[in-house]
Structure 1
Amino acid sequence: MDRNLGMDFVRATEAAALSSGRWVGKGDRHAVDQAACEAMRRTLGDIDMKGVVVIGEGERDEAPMLYIGEELGTGNGYAVQIAVDPVEGTNLVATGQPGAISVVAAAIEGEGKLLRAPDIYMDKLVVGPAAKGAVDITLPPRMNLKVIAKSLGKEVQDLTVGMLDRPRHEQLIREIRQAGARIRLVSDGDLSLALEALDPQGEIDVLMGIGGAPEGVLSAAAALCMGGEIQARLVFRNEQERERAKQLLGTEDVDRVLTMEDLAWGNVVFAATGITGGNLLGGVRYTGWGAITHSVVMRSRSGTIRWLETHHHFHHDPRY
């Protein structure tokens, strides 16, 4: 996957952020989704590739998201698997809260792969490069926190664990507090927390807890590019979800631990742009002449991570 294709994907996240950013704090979730989805679809459609969406939200939401199986691109060039989340944190944008981002990950067919994860829940454990290989999602939180602290040269009391603020995490929160670690709870957006956990400069040392499986695949793509690690397990609310996972994944063993090799491998690109400002990515800032965005684009093959501040002059097409 060449550098120009990677930059094409970050242009897609920028376009989605610029369009949905117009709706920050206006209370209209549908308009946020529609603006981001249309801008991202239009930009991805102009790329010379034979793209197909393998991770999307079309199966879950009635909002106009890019749907699983949708074909994108000009039909020329590489065959590419695409994972998208035009707005991670729709509620955050609608209510004007920080932490919303636009995300695309991609893998070239034959050179890389992204898991076609069912749109269900997933229990995740995400750490950065220093703790890679040291954690085990099947162990109690206190044991993982101890090895993470050792890997980072910290005390457990100085670790920060990120997770979604959900009733399902009450027991996990209790165990982490008993171990002595700090916790940051967010209302939406565990992918943003995963990115912080993967970044050695981030304020989060580890992501724990249950969120969406599609976001888990996107987190794995970022982990592959950043040299970190994710371990995960699918979480089923009913037998129908279990059977659907068996059919989609082509295996009866849907309860096993999913590793990096299961979720994302090979030649992968990850791109994200901030919509509302967060700890890693600033939000869209509109000016008299256009707007400023903050993005990151990563490539697993080269190991490059580029943090971009882009100035968009609106007398030009922002897709280019």
Structure 2
Amino acid sequence: MSDARSVSPDFLYALRRATEATACAAADGLARGDRQTAGKAALDAMRASLSELDFEAADVIGHAQQGELPQFKRGEIVGRPGAAYRADLAADPMEGTAYLEPGQTNALAVIAVAPRGSMMDPGPAFYMEKFVARAEARGRIDPALPTKEKIETLGRCIGKPVAELNIYVQEKPRHRRLVEEIVSAGAKVSLFPAGDVAGAILAAIPGSGIDAMMGVGGVPEGIISAAGIRALGGEFLCRIAPQLQTETMAVRAADLDTTRWLDRDEVIGSDDIFFCATGIASGLMLDGVQRNSTHYRTQTMLISGFTGERQVLTSYRPLSGALAENVTARDVA
């Protein structure tokens, strides 16, 4: 039996403990200035935490390449093999951490879970173009329209003048023209060098200060985001958009259509979704990990696809004995 509705209501809170442990491990490693070591510690913490949960999950987005942070392998089974609840898993122990050294924000430890077979198989695709907005825009915006028309339609959907719209875009060279088009349309742009998942989730939440996310980002992050956005009832549209020659060749060989826009429900084919994200570094969405002489302070967003409920919880996790003994004066809040 793989019906998510047979899972204990506490399952989402158990996922929270997994992302919190992961974020704490990541933050400790990053504080020492070693991203690769931090990445391994974060992945180990997430894998160990998930092994304590009563589910069997298959990773659908594993994508680690040379020079990237450690990730689950695509198809890797985590949790408890043979458990009754069989699920798909899309997870990133350190999403959005590439720019933490210069003090950037929006980094998360994030997990999305849905019934087995419900998450999109991305094949060899690594990049996708995305359009994300909140529920009022659902089914009302043609993503193939020019940028100006999409923004004007968005304004009508959510009842805001174009001049008051704020569009989240990742600050990448590939987005220079997009930024110019948004500004020319009369809207505002919020530029961040990282935070693909945070930007997408915020775009689906009314009152977040972000009205839409646009641009090309990662396919793995897109699948994670689509899960949270479907649970929230928001709009998520995407199309495969290769950025590298090797990726273009692989996508063509796999016969993937790069012109067709996919609907949110084609990316995540079930409402039975558990989404959980804990801040590693403070950003627009969540506070990052803070540590004093005895505890970690973490902030986590939980979203249930069963109810559409969204919670933000602050937790205080005791340091282990070894960590508590090694706290320096600079660590103490």
TM-score between both structures, scaled by the size of structure 2 = 0.87
Contact 1:128-1:229 within 8 A present in 2 as well: yes
User: Is 1:258 paired with 2:265?
Assistant: no
Q: Does 1:109 align with 2:116?
A: yes
2:143 pairs with 124, 128, 137, which one?
A: 137
Judged with a 3 Å threshold, the aligned counterparts in structure 2 of structure 1 residues 235 and 314 are, in CA distance, closer, same or farther, namely: same
Distance 1:25 1:152 in 2: 41
- Paired residue secondary structure (2:56): strand
Give the Cα separation in 2 of the matches to 1:121 and 1:224. 20
Tell me, yes or no, if the aligned pair for 2:155 and 2:161 is still in contact at 8 Å. yes
Q: By how many angstroms is 1:126 displaced?
A: 0.3
Distance 2:68 2:51 in 1: 22
Separation of aligned partners in 1, 2:98 and 2:64: 17
Q: Distance in 2 between matches of 1:84 and 1:180?
A: 36
Query: Cα gap change, 1:80/1:61 in structure 2, threshold over 3 Å: closer, same or farther?
Result: farther
2:301 matched to which residue of 1? 296
* Amino acid paired to 2:164: D
The answer to whether the Cα contact below 8 Å between 1:160 and 1:183 also exists between their aligned partners in 2 is: yes
Aligned partners of 1:53 and 1:81 also within 8 Å? yes
- 2:60 match: secondary structure: strand
Q: For residue 125 of structure 1, what is the amino acid of its counterpart?
A: F
- TM-score between both structures, scaled by the size of structure 1: 0.91
Displacement after TM superposition at 1:252 (Å):
5.0
The equivalent residue for 2:311 is 306
Q: In the superposition, relative to structure 1, how do residues 281 and 252 fare at CA in structure 2: closer, same or farther (>3 Å)?
A: closer
**Could you tell me how far apart the structure 2 residues matched to 1:238 and 1:89 are?**
20
Conserved in 2, the CA contact under 8 Å of 1:92 and 1:99?
Answer: no
Q: Report the equivalent of 1:27.
A: 33
Distance 1:92 1:178 in 2: 28
Aligned equivalent of 2:277: 272
Matches within 5 A, 1:42-81: 42-59=48-65, 61-75=67-81, 76-81=83-88
- Give the Cα separation in 1 of the matches to 2:253 and 2:109: 29
2:10 matched residue in structure 1: 4
Letter of the aligned partner of 1:294 in structure 2?
Q
Deviation digits for residues 251-307 of structure 1 (CA, Å, limit 9, x no counterpart)? 654431111121112111111000111122111111222111110111212222121
Which has the larger strand fraction? 1
Q: CA RMSD for the aligned pairs?
A: 2.0
Residues 107 and 283, structure 2, Cα contact 8 Å, conserved in 1: yes
Within 5 Å, give how 1:84-233 maps onto structure 2.
84-109=91-116, 113-117=118-122, 118-233=124-239
Instruction: Give identity over the alignment, percent.
Output: 32
Give the 5 Å matches for 1:228-247.
Answer: 228-237=234-243, 240-242=246-248, 244-245=250-251
In 2, the alpha carbon distance for the partners of 1:144 and 1:168 equals 19
Q: Single out whichever of 62-71 and 209-218 deviates more from structure 2.
A: 62-71
Q: Distance in 1 between matches of 2:46 and 2:252?
A: 31
Q: Supply the distance in 2 between the matched residues of 1:27 and 1:84 (Cα, whole angstroms).
A: 23
1:13 aligns with 2:14: no
What residue ranges of structure 1 are gaps of 5+ in the alignment? none
Q: Report the CA distance shift for 1:262/1:217 in structure 2 as closer, same or farther (over 3 A).
A: same
- Asked if structure 1 preserves the Cα contact closer than 8 Å seen for 2:125 and 2:242, the reply is no
| Count of equivalent residues | 312
Q: Secondary structure at the match of 1:201?
A: coil
SS in 2 for 1:265: coil
Deviates most, 87-96 or 306-315: 87-96
- Structure 2, unpaired ranges of 5+: 322-333
Structure 2 counterpart SS, 1:47:
coil
User: Are the counterparts in 2 of residues 242 and 254 from structure 1 also a CA contact under 8 Å?
Assistant: no
Give distance in 1, aligned partners of 2:244 and 2:69: 24
- 1:60 Cα deviation (Å)? 6.0
Match of 2:329 in 1: none
Structure 1: which 4+ aligned runs deviate by more than 6 Å? none
